[in-house]
Chains A and B, each alone.
Chain A
């Protein structure tokens, strides 16, 4: 077998060459236009040549770097051929609160309270800018494109509505509590789930699921984007016509973690997280859907890390 060529690094190298090559060609082209074609320059010609010179130098260094990369070929894992530190991919233990009854209380992925404050901050920032622009623009000219600013104002209104919706959930429903008997179960292990709800409500429907979410972060241009997807789903229960009484247990369910579940995984840009999803339909109040992350561990890793407790 012959060594596998690293085509992606070669494509990247060629791209670098072309990109920085254009940096080099651009100032030469402008200089040619000015000197031979008589193109007019607004401002100082000295400043123009300095700027062109900077462009040329950046391009030159880029081209040299690109050629060096192409000639060097593929690198081993780790930057510049240096050996990387050991990295296990095991996610951090979730923050849980141990209760007197021996169960562990999970924190929601994003509480209604946190979502409200976050959306409110974004709404204030967004609407502050758009309204300022709108008011300044409407004073300055009569023929301004109002519809253009209106798009931004509608987006601002939607963000504000989202904040209000979460405020309603926070005030009218409160935070649902989810407790489990084992914060680090292994595939195939039995898991007990307790769900309770502060306040006195009648609940039309309550469903509990185990879900596995994959989260991938990537660069697109100058933006960093994150894509999240639920890739596995295991229903635990689907209950109807319940009544919550000041934090009493609404549901006490047992389930088995899927035997072929991939344990939780975390690296810089990729994550696999298991969560308990609780959905509630309450008459006359906003529906609730909350995710409570916990950690499924590989059996051997758990034996070493937590000594097989639980």
Chain B
């Protein structure tokens, strides 16, 4: 199933969402070669870390679109709903980045898997999600406002 064409449509439009938001979507999987037998066909909502550290990942929700051994039609469409998790938030730090994805993973037989990932952002309003340019430390005053670096002791 190397030629699978996968499409995910989300409502509201990606990428920015708030923690706990409910989103709806439609996943379309098209195989130009006709029907195929699924080893797995899953939709996942998951986060991954990236950066210098070894990658960690966590799955918030898995929807099995087709059970193992199911014949999947050449044009497969399925609607779904997701409640976005409260944590972790999307984050772009200096050493660590945390990114959310809605992904569809398909495999038939022993060989030949296909994946499609749609990056989304989950963070509350007012959360910039970034520490600014690389190698920059942001300093705050006692009211939480960005300020100039303090004198060192």
A interface residues (Cβ-Cβ under 8 A, vs B)? 1-4, 6, 68, 71-78, 81, 83-90, 187-188, 205, 207, 209-210, 214-219, 227, 229-238, 254-260, 262-263, 265, 267-272, 279-281, 287, 298-301, 304
Contact = CB atoms under 8 A, between A and B. Distances in A.
Interface of B: 2, 4-7, 19-20, 39-40, 42, 44, 46-49, 51-60, 62, 85-89, 91, 93-96, 98, 103, 105, 107, 110-117, 124, 126-129, 131, 137-144, 149-151, 153
A88 B153 contact: no
Nearest to B114: A3
Contact of A234 (B89, B129, B131, B144): B144
A258 B144 contact: yes
Nearest to B146: A258
Nearest to A269: B54
Contacts of B56: 267-270
Given A217-B53, A231-B131, A83 B140 contact: no
B61 to A, nearest CB: 8
15 contacts: A6-B115, A83-B42, A87-B58, A216-B95, A231-B94, A231-B138, A232-B131, A232-B137, A237-B142, A260-B144, A262-B89, A262-B127, A265-B98, A270-B98, A272-B91
B113 A72 contact: yes
Contacts of A298: 19, 86-87, 89, 124
A202 to B, nearest CB: 16
A27 to B, nearest CB: 29
A233 B139 contact: yes
The residue in B85, B131, B140 that gathers the most chain A C-beta atoms within 10 A of its C-beta is B140
Contacts of B142: 234-237, 254-256
A73 B116 CA distance: 12
A71 B137 contact: no
Contacts of B105: 74-76, 81
B114 A81 contact: no
A234 B141 contact: yes
Nearest to A271: B96
Contact of B126 (A81, A259, A262, A281): A259
A3 B115 contact: yes
Contact of B112 (A73, A85, A86, A300): A73
B123 to A, nearest CB: 9
Given A214-B96, A263-B88, A271-B96, 7 more contacts: A3-B116, A83-B44, A232-B138, A233-B149, A234-B139, A235-B140, A259-B144
Contacts of A287: 153
Contacts of B141: 234-235
A272 B49 CA distance: 12
B142 to A, nearest CB: 5
A300 B137 CA distance: 27
B98 A281 contact: no
A86 B103 contact: no
A86 B5 contact: no
A220 to B, nearest CB: 10
A71 B111 CA distance: 6
Given A87-B59, A260-B126, A260-B127, A74 B115 contact: yes
A89 B58 contact: yes
Nearest to A210: B140
A231 B58 CA distance: 24
Contacts of B114: 3, 73-74
A111 B5 CA distance: 57
A281 B153 CA distance: 8
Given A188-B144, A229-B95, A270 B49 contact: yes
Contacts of A235: 139-142, 150
Contacts of B58: 84, 86-89, 267
A275 B75 CA distance: 53
